[in-house]
Amino acid sequence: PTAVGSGFVWDEAHVVTNFHVVRDVARDELMLIFSDTGTSPGTDTPRRDVFRGELVGADPATDTAVVRIAPAPGQEPRLQIRPLARGASTPLEVGQTVYAIGNPFGLEHSMSRGIVSGISRTLDIGERPIRGCIQTDASINPGNSGGPLLDSAGRVVGVNTAILSNSGMSAGVGLAVPIDTVSRQVEEILRKGFVS
């Protein structure tokens, strides 16, 4: 089965996503698709670049993964790939507006708006509970995992990770791993290839 998830550009060479998005993807099948809202000349199709991805490392305990953008020899990007600005998750307050970006059900360029519904939530989906998660009512569905949760200034404050739902579809309770946690893990993965 094909896994579809989201991610965001961390720096000129890396994308951050959730570990559960890439965990079961074969090494030679990890693909990164970059697209923008413009169209290719003479068509109605969005401009897009497709690159192979290489898993640099992951931290299952925080559901964080770092993927290297690996263009094929001679492949030149047609789109400008820019890292997203990162904010901080510690100053978030309940009621603050946030935006979930991703590919729910494979629908590219999707954004939903909501609020921070709660802070310091615990998510128990992996090796150990992830503490300090951000609860939001911004619509998060399958395919949003790994995408950024942005504040109203467009800064990443969390990584969309899970929904709490009996049906598996958005029920207005989504959880994001705080960017403060993700940043620590990503920097360690970039330095060592793993989290100790």
Strand order in the sheet with 64-70: 8-11, 14-17, 64-70, 46-59, 31-39
Q: Are residues 93 and 103 in contact, defined by beta-carbon separation less than 8 angstroms?
A: no
Tokens (6 digits) for 163: 């929904």
Q: Catalytic annotation on 20?
A: yes
Partners of 11 in the β-ladder? 14
Catalytic residue among 63, 110, 139, 151: 63
Is residue 19 within 8 A of residue 25, CB to CB? The reply is no
Catalytic residue among 20, 89, 112, 151: 20
Distance, in Å, from the CA atom of 15 to the CA atom of 71, rounded to the nearest integer, reads: 13
Question: In terms of DSSP H, where are the helices of the chain?
Answer: 19-22, 179-192
Which residue type, as a one-letter code, is found at position 187? Answer: E
- Other CB atoms within a 10 A radius of the CB of residue 167 amount to 7
Q: How many CB atoms lie within 10 A of CB 81?
A: 15
At position 33, the amino acid (one-letter code) is: I
Q: Which of 14, 145, 151, 170 is catalytic?
A: 145
Nearest-angstrom CA–CA distance, 192 and 190 = 6
151 assigned to active site: no
Identify whether 63 is a catalytic site residue: yes
Catalytic annotation, residues:
20, 63, 145
